[in-house]
Structure 1
Amino acid sequence: MASTRDWFETVEEAQHRAKKRLPRSVYLALVAGTEKGLTAQDNVAAFDEILWRPHVADLPAKRETTTTVMGQEMSMPVLISPTGVQAVHPDGEVAVARAAAAEDVAMGLSSFASKPVEEVGAATDKLFFQMYWVGSRETILARAERARAAGAKGLIMTLDWSFASRRDWGSPPIPEKIDVKNALKFAPEVITKPGWLATYLRSGSIPELSVPNLALEGQQPPNFFGAYGEWMGTALPRWEDVAWLREQWGGPFMLKGITRVDDARRAVDAGVTAISVSTHGGNNLDSTPGAVRSLPPIVDAVGDQIEVLMDGGVRRGGDVVKAMALGAKAVMIGRAYLWGMAANGERGVQNVLSIIRQGIDEALLGLGRSSVHELTRDDVILPPHFTRD
């Protein structure tokens, strides 16, 4: 299908359209990484080093992409990764949830999201709620129970975000709120993006900088900086905290942010259902290797005990297949779907998922595999010293 005004053929094109449509500050916030951005860049570059070993005959006429992650059946091994404070489209995470439901994939919703978990839960029945270790145990558990009541089927605990003050490489400061002063400050870049501005004006809203999912009943949602301050003021989590929250939740539980074999083993000991090998999109300790480099040794160590996912740098269906050939159960995507939403709202997110689905199918065909579950390391070629353990 050729590109049109309302359809694009590649994730790269979605990124180009997002850059063209979004105010500079909003776009840069999407692509930012910590410090020099070395990890953010390596997340993508590492996939380019993985080469195929294709077949040319006896190829399967049909290819199967369905799988199950944390008890949820999905049409392909791709999940929406939780991302916080979205200012790319007024429908935010609700639009993402609708697109995910239409493509039959699960969605991770950030506790720092711009839309309440109740609204997002009403738009999809395959919802995982993501949490940071913010506040007291009592407060954390209350937030988890709120998510359960809204339909969350699983919990994602994220431990891979750095607190470095330099974390937003290339990104301008985020305003505390949209008031007259900040509206005037950002007006020069907003006025040059009439399409983005018109979308918000038609919706009758402004970019939402509050964090509704951190508020409990009767509380006013904090703004991003208030939430960040509570996070910074909370004692850092310990492995016993991970085990406690997993036990209290009592259902499917993913730990996100693993890059080391010893941490993967500790996650198993804590009783988690799944882990995601992740660098938080390059927003953790810079110079951490791209996530897919850390994947094979972790799969070798714990892949027969828990589900191992990965996220970071996935831009096409072929990347999904490469990760699965290295042992991942599925992948999570972040920037890719945000670019799609920036380009064309809910339909743009669905567009990105459709592109990735097609890429998975094409890679399976070339490799001569009839199912994503048949993939092995024999399907790819890794350069010397590719993995990091």
Structure 2
Amino acid sequence: MAKPEWLSNPWKQNPWFESVAVAQERARKRLPQPVYGALVAGSERGQSAGDNQAAFAEIGLQPVVAGQKKERSQATTLWGQEISQPVVISPTGVQAVHPDGEVAVARAARDRGTLMGLSNFASKSVEEVTETGARTFFQMYWTGERDVMLHRMQRAQDAGALGLIATTDWSFSIGRDWGSPEIPEKVDLKTMVRFAPKVATKPRWLWTFGRTGMIPDLTAPNLAPPGGVAGPTFFGAYYEWMNTEPPSWDDVTWMREQWKQISGGKPFILKGVSRVDDALRAVDAGVDSISVSNHGGNNLDGTPAAIRMLHPIASRVGDDIEVVIDGGIRRGSDVVKAVALGARAVLIGRAYLWGLAANGEQGVGNVLDVLRMGVDSALRGMGVASIHDLTPEHLLVPEGFHRTLGAVPAREGSHAAPAAV
């Protein structure tokens, strides 16, 4: 039997990693420091980014000593699609950690039977991603004039996107206590010379790009203007956002109505909900789903961990719309805790980016496999046959864990009040 390539090639290592933590460590070793720093850093002091992970450790699971289920199911439906596990790819910006970027991520999601979220700040076009056969949901920020936003919606629909994920609360904090990573306007010869000392120590990362003849692309092709070819740089997109008036709830309703008309009724998801009153407004605006999220701690620092805000929101609107969560998911038990507290599924971001950096498409698939195995292990240990059977009673949640922002008293005959856990 031939030896695996990683045994005979000094540039290779055993490609399998057994946890997201190992994927992160491999990404750290492989990537130039500014690139890795951009993946891990939250805004300002990183309070929200840190709490997103730490909060999961405060929740315990209740095991059984006998009566475990021989067969366990993770299959569910989300946004009108059947998925093999309650883990979905969250849209993230320019994925220059690997030359295949979002295309590699899409293939891994396709092969694992789950959904692909694609940012309009992605480094690959929506057409390239949907051509992989991945079931793609296009994420769009509230930036630009309305005719520009309509163009982006139509382009996503024409490419075959199955739904729209709207982010209306984006902000960009340049103040990070550990220093913000430098983001060049474009990658040209002058930039490469300036960054050479930082990337020269990462030859494997250079070799990955070098063998394709590519250089990291920091433009956003999905933001190309009508009739245009090239998209703006990061700073061009930032300028557009700075000159766009912040949206009202009427604007959210307009966005949903326009997408429904363009797409023929495909799902509309609002990402970034942290408050009960905003969740109720989202229901009134006609959205199909919300993601309870503080955007990985990259927006307003000091926002509670997403998992702390999940149950108060899901218990109020979970019977009306599908509720998902993103932020801090690193292991299968985290997924189980989120589903037990009311999430239909979770969205992952940094976890798959580390997998992409560590081993491309296979690394992303590895992350999804690790999470699948972790969910299965937790279900077995608790004697649960299906993720649909999970309830808060399967958890040990400390007093005062939940954070109810924007509390609204329940009206008789309306959304139920949050249940005590």
- State the TM-score bracket (shorter-chain normalisation): over 0.9
Shift of 1:32: 1.2
Shift of 1:57: 1.1
Shift of 1:216: 3.3
**Contact 1:126–1:152 at 8 Å: present in 2 too?**
yes
String of CA shifts for 1:189-216, please: whole Å, max 9, x gaps. 1110000000101111100110100113
Q: Which runs of 5+ in 1 are unaligned?
A: none
Q: Which runs of 5+ in 2 are unaligned?
A: 1-6, 8-12, 261-265, 405-421
SS at the partner of 2:138?
strand
- The letter for the 1-side match of 2:292 is V
**Contact 1:316–1:355 at 8 Å: present in 2 too?**
yes
SS at the partner of 1:385?
coil
**Alignment RMSD:** 1.3
Counterpart of 1:295 (choices 307, 310, 321) is: 310
- The letter for the 2-side match of 1:264 is A
Partner of 1:362: 377
- Distance in 1 (CA, whole Å) between partners of 2:40 and 2:176 is 12
Moved over 2 A (4+): 159-165, 167-171
Partner of 1:382: 397
Shift of 1:167: 5.7
**Contact 1:51–1:381 at 8 Å: present in 2 too?**
yes
**Contact 2:143–2:149 at 8 Å: present in 1 too?**
yes
Partner of 2:70: 61
How do residues 327-346 of structure 1 correspond to structure 2 at under 5 angstroms?
327-346=342-361
Counterpart of 1:24 (choices 7, 11, 33) is: 33
How do residues 93-112 of structure 1 correspond to structure 2 at under 5 angstroms?
93-112=102-121
Shift of 1:224: 1.1
1:151 has 2:160 as partner: yes
**Contact 1:37–1:169 at 8 Å: present in 2 too?**
no
- The letter for the 1-side match of 2:327 is G
SS at the partner of 1:203?
coil
- Distance in 1 (CA, whole Å) between partners of 2:66 and 2:376 is 16
SS at the partner of 1:16?
helix
Partner of 1:232: 242
Partner of 1:128: 137
**Contact 2:272–2:293 at 8 Å: present in 1 too?**
yes
**Contact 1:29–1:168 at 8 Å: present in 2 too?**
no
Counterpart of 2:332 (choices 311, 317, 336) is: 317
SS at the partner of 1:328?
coil
TM-score, normalising length: structure 2? 0.90
1:280 has 2:295 as partner: yes
Shift of 1:169: 5.4
- The letter for the 2-side match of 1:80 is I
String of CA shifts for 1:118-168, please: whole Å, max 9, x gaps. 000111341100000011111101101101111100000013432333268
Q: Cα gap change, 1:252/1:165 in structure 2, threshold over 3 Å: closer, same or farther?
A: same
How do residues 208-223 of structure 1 correspond to structure 2 at under 5 angstroms?
208-219=217-228, 220-223=230-233
Shift of 1:181: 2.3
String of CA shifts for 1:316-374, please: whole Å, max 9, x gaps. 11100000010100000000000000000000000000000000111111111100000
* Further displaced range: 216-225 or 338-347: 216-225
- Distance in 1 (CA, whole Å) between partners of 2:383 and 2:159 is 42
How do residues 33-44 of structure 1 correspond to structure 2 at under 5 angstroms?
33-44=42-53
- Distance in 2 (CA, whole Å) between partners of 1:194 and 1:160 is 38
- Distance in 1 (CA, whole Å) between partners of 2:141 and 2:135 is 20
Q: Which has the larger radius of gyration?
A: 2
- Distance in 2 (CA, whole Å) between partners of 1:221 and 1:179 is 16
String of CA shifts for 1:71-129, please: whole Å, max 9, x gaps. 01100011100000111000000000000001011010000000000000111341100
Shift of 1:228: 1.1
- Distance in 2 (CA, whole Å) between partners of 1:33 and 1:124 is 32
**Contact 1:28–1:170 at 8 Å: present in 2 too?**
no
How do residues 176-255 of structure 1 correspond to structure 2 at under 5 angstroms?
176-219=185-228, 220-250=230-260, 251-255=266-270
TM-score, normalising length: structure 1? 0.97
Shift of 1:62: 0.6
Shift of 1:170: 4.2
- Distance in 1 (CA, whole Å) between partners of 2:173 and 2:156 is 29
- Distance in 2 (CA, whole Å) between partners of 1:17 and 1:171 is 22
